[in-house]
Amino acid sequence: MSESQTPPEHPNAALLLSATKGFDYLFSNDIVAARKHFEPHEDPFHLLGLGVCAFLEAALGMETGLMTEASRCLALSEAGTRKQMRVPKPRDLTQPTRFQFGLEWEILNADAVVLLGLTNALSESYMGYLQCMYSLNSAHSKFTKLYKTVFPNGLPTVIDSSSTIPTSPASPTANKSLSVPSALPASLSHKPSIASLSSQSSASSEASGSTVSHPQPPASRSGFFSRWTAAAAASEPVLPLPTALPDGPVEELIIAGTAFGFGLFNLVFSLLPKKIQGLVGFFGFKHDRKLALQALALAATKDDVHGVFAGLVLMTYHGVVLLLSGYQADEERLLSEYKAIVDRVERRYPTGALWILNKAKIMRMAYDAEGAILVLQEGLKPNRPHSFAQADMLLIFELAWTLLGQRRYLEAAATFMKITEMNTWSHGTYYFIAAGCYLAVGDQNKAQAMMDVIPDLIDKKKIGGKDLPTEIFIKKKLAFYKEKHVRRGGDGKGWIDVVKVNPAEEIGICK
């Protein structure tokens, strides 16, 4: 590329790249380095990064005390983006992007509003829930508007001619539509092109592995309203690229951020029960699961931070679908799509706990539990970054359940007890499961000693002032054991011998 073809650098590109570096630390499990990188800066990009760090620590570890810090940073970021959105475009600014000036601030503002809403929800107060609903409603409107602005001709697609979408032999029609675009292979490289996924040329190009061409505008109809709408569509603020220049970091942010936000809202609304869908539809919340998956898949192909979060959402979606579909699931196809997303992110952040966790889940779902255990144990080795304790706790949690499923009771008990050292949430549940593990190997004294301390643990720590469903179940089981022991002539102490169904396996079935 000659110098004359090199696009001018966007004025916010340096700030965005700097903030992205902080997120790289975060996704690599080094939250201390991420905070250290974000803290010296006071711009909305870095303040949002600080807010995300606090939010993830609070949400993953159920640590409500961190919500105040998350709210503070996110509120500052949101206020900063609103201020930047009101700044007029400088007259002497050379157009550095095909998008309108300041669009990146609108996306960042919508991100901050979403996270503020979720932070309010985690506060578990009535006012917090109301603030959450207001914030999500506002963010939904923002992302819907952004979608129409950034993608006036429909979602663009990226096709790699060197690879094909993996399909299962059991579903021969899978290639006939793009209903599950998240199957994009991990080797997919970034080749920007603008094409509507709904066009016939897109479908035929994908089948042949050729380059996607620009869609032709629809034929205009006669009439006043049609001419008015056509003129409105023609005045969209998206400028065409004169040449196929690669997108810069700000363009990646705009495309990935819009696709992620729009896709996330559509996917969440599509998964709600039908009655609730009707209620939210009355307030203007619409949903399209097919379009949501397409948008998230597009975002996941980008190197922007939103691409990583889009991949995480798709991982969660595929895992839940595979788990809930049971024998009806097309396991081969779902696992192939799931693995493609995980592999792409893991290559970028090989030490990140979230990607190690999903890699282990794929192996467990593919009936390789022993391999999943090895992957989790490798991810917890001391030579890896471990400053993100809440993310490591997820690995330990998955390892504990996998060990329990393999009947490795002593290892499972030790792992469940290790969780109590890393968070303050529901210690009574972990003690109950660990007691069941010791009971399974015949150590009744150890099991009884652990059971005896559970009531105090449950009363000591409550989420939102209420017992969790598992803790309510455990309290009823403990009362049942004592009553059964008394009916048999006991004094209500040392009742472990009346337990006939292993508590660990009983909780496992509930899980």
Confidence of residue 96 (pLDDT cuts 50, 70, 90): low
Residue 237 lies in a domain: no
Yes or no: say if 447 and 435 are a contact pair by the CB < 8 Å rule. Answer: yes
- Chain segment 13-34, per-residue pLDDT in tens: 888 999 999 999 999 988 999 9
Confidence of residue 508 (pLDDT cuts 50, 70, 90): low
Whether 270 shows a pLDDT value over 90: the answer reads no
pLDDT for position 126: 67
Task: Assign residue 131 the CATH number of its domain.
Answer: 1.25.40
What's the predicted TM-score (pTM) here?
Answer: 0.73
Question: Structural domain of residue 43, as residue ranges?
Answer: 12-88+96-150
pLDDT higher at 36 or 285: 36
> Tell me, what DSSP letter sits at residue 240?
P
pLDDT for position 154: 83
The Cβ-side half-sphere exposure at 476, using a 13 Å CA radius, reads 8
Residue 466 φ then ψ, to 5° = -125, 155
- Token representation of residue 423: 């968070």
Co-location of 390 and 416 in the same domain: no
- Chain segment 284-334, per-residue pLDDT in tens: 666 778 888 999 999 998 889 999 999 999 988 888 877 777 666 677 888
Co-location of 429 and 402 in the same domain: no
Yes or no: say if 195 and 156 are a contact pair by the CB < 8 Å rule. Answer: yes
Co-location of 386 and 451 in the same domain: no
DSSP string, 364-382: HHTT-HHHHHHHHHHHTST
Co-location of 139 and 26 in the same domain: yes
Whether 233 shows a pLDDT value over 70: the answer reads no
**CA proximity to 271, closest of 293, 252, 250:** 293
Co-location of 386 and 413 in the same domain: no
pLDDT higher at 397 or 492: 397
121-130, 398-407, 422-431: segment of lowest average pLDDT = 121-130
Residue 203 lies in a domain: no
Whether 196 shows a pLDDT value over 60: the answer reads no
Name the residue type at position 337.
E
Residue at which a domain ends, from 387, 406, 425: 406
Name the residue type at position 486.
V
Co-location of 398 and 504 in the same domain: no
Co-location of 422 and 400 in the same domain: no
pLDDT for position 99: 80
Q: CB neighbours of 105 closer than 8 A, spacing ≥ 6?
A: 44, 81, 84, 85
Co-location of 401 and 453 in the same domain: no
Whether 195 shows a pLDDT value over 50: the answer reads no
pLDDT for position 454: 92
Whether 133 shows a pLDDT value over 80: the answer reads no
Whether 277 shows a pLDDT value over 60: the answer reads yes
Q: Measuring CA to CA, how many Å separate 280 from each of 66, 285, 455?
A: 31, 5, 41
Residue at which a domain ends, from 406, 422, 444: 406
Co-location of 417 and 493 in the same domain: yes
Residue 221 lies in a domain: no
Q: How far apart are CA 117 and CA 342, in angstroms?
A: 28
What spatial distance separates the first Cα and last Cα of the chain, rounded to whole Å? Answer: 56
Residue 255 lies in a domain: no
Identify the helix (H) or strand (E) that includes residue 274. Answer: helix 274-282
Yes or no: say if 50 and 24 are a contact pair by the CB < 8 Å rule. Answer: no
- Token representation of residue 330: 């097309």
- Chain segment 412-457, per-residue pLDDT in tens: 999 999 998 887 778 889 999 999 999 999 999 999 999 999 998 8
Q: CB neighbours of 68 closer than 8 A, spacing ≥ 6?
A: none
**CA proximity to 391, closest of 363, 428, 418, 422:** 422
pLDDT for position 178: 33
Co-location of 19 and 141 in the same domain: yes
Co-location of 461 and 371 in the same domain: no
Yes or no: say if 258 and 151 are a contact pair by the CB < 8 Å rule. Answer: yes
Q: How far apart are CA 414 and CA 433, in angstroms?
A: 11
Residue 465 lies in a domain: yes
Whether 219 shows a pLDDT value over 90: the answer reads no
Whether 265 shows a pLDDT value over 80: the answer reads yes
Co-location of 450 and 474 in the same domain: yes
pLDDT for position 451: 93
pLDDT for position 399: 95
- Token representation of residue 109: 């503002």
The beta strand positions in 408-475, using DSSP E, are none
- Token representation of residue 276: 């609730």
The Cβ-side half-sphere exposure at 424, using a 13 Å CA radius, reads 12
Residue 293 lies in a domain: no
- Total length of the chain: 511
Residue 63 lies in a domain: yes
Number of domains in the chain: 3
Residue at which a domain ends, from 109, 134, 150: 150
Whether 240 shows a pLDDT value over 90: the answer reads no
Q: CB neighbours of 138 closer than 8 A, spacing ≥ 6?
A: 113
